[in-house]
Amino acid sequence: MPVLSILFSSMIHTPASIIAIDGPAASGKSTLGRLLADSLGYIFFDTGVMYRAVTWTALQRGLNPSDETAVSSLAQQIQIDVLPASKDDGRACDVLVEGQDITWETRRPEVDANVSQVSAYRGVREAMSRQQRRIGLRGKVVMVGRDIGTVVLPEADLKIYLDASAQQRARRRYDEIRARHGQAEYETVLAGVVERDRIDSTRDVSPLRAAADAIIINSDSMTADQVFARVLELCK
């Protein structure tokens, strides 16, 4: 076989090494990302947990989430680690701040209520983006967030923008909370999702949007398995 034919054959059968998955809250990004990472043997990295970790830490230390200067300074100082899941309790990964496992604390209602504001701060995003990019450029990673394909890893081999209606996403978040025996009202969850969308899409720094070269998938009428099968084909 000619050398060029061998090279071309090798290229078209090489799976994407850096996969970026963006989309609004509760669109199914984390579920898709974890399935892909497990299937490909890649690192699963949901970048949203880093902003949640900053928010939780700020609240624990008595900082006002509205104090951009204080929260941004905190983000520049703390060490956040994202590691493979160490417990079989439904978590996708371990989230540690200064060595302390805060995985489920990052999903608390008070974090939900403040994370959009915190994640909109330029200083916080810059601090987190540096860590995210360093990890992503190692390759063999599925990175999930809101600005991965547009800001953190614009050179990603494959960019997916996973979308769904606010109503469907609120139902998923509500079911998640109830599955953990938490208390929630669907209408309250829906209002939170709508407000989160507004903040994420209108912030000055890295607003939520699909990259120009991203493949957009609406999951309203698709199961998680169907979305996974579609994206897995794109990866390969």
**Residue 211, helix vs strand vs coil:** coil
State which residues form the domain around 173: 18-152+159-229
* 9 lies in some domain: no
Convert the pLDDT of each residue in 69-118 to its tens digit: 999 999 999 989 888 788 998 887 889 999 999 999 999 999 999 998 99
Count Cα atoms within 13 angstroms, Cβ side, for 131: 19
Q: Are the C-beta atoms of 141 and 196 separated by less than 8 Å? A: no
Cα→Cα distances 111→62, 203, 214, Å: 13, 18, 29
* 85 lies in some domain: yes
Convert the pLDDT of each residue in 161-219 to its tens digit: 999 999 999 998 898 888 887 788 899 999 999 998 898 888 887 888 999 999 999 99
* 234 lies in some domain: no
pLDDT band at 36; cut points 50, 70, 90: very high
* 3 lies in some domain: no
Q: Are the C-beta atoms of 206 and 124 separated by less than 8 Å? A: no
pTM summary value: 0.75
* 11 lies in some domain: no
* 71 lies in some domain: yes
**Number of domains observed in the structure of the chain:** 1
Among the listed residues 164, 148, 166, 159, the one whose alpha carbon sits nearest the alpha carbon of residue 50 = 148
Convert the pLDDT of each residue in 117-149 to its tens digit: 998 899 999 999 988 898 888 888 899 998 999
Which domain CATH number covers 185?
3.40.50.300
The gap between the terminal CA atoms of the chain, to the nearest Å, is 23
Q: How far apart are CA 135 and CA 110, in angstroms?
A: 28
* 140 lies in some domain: yes
* 7 lies in some domain: no
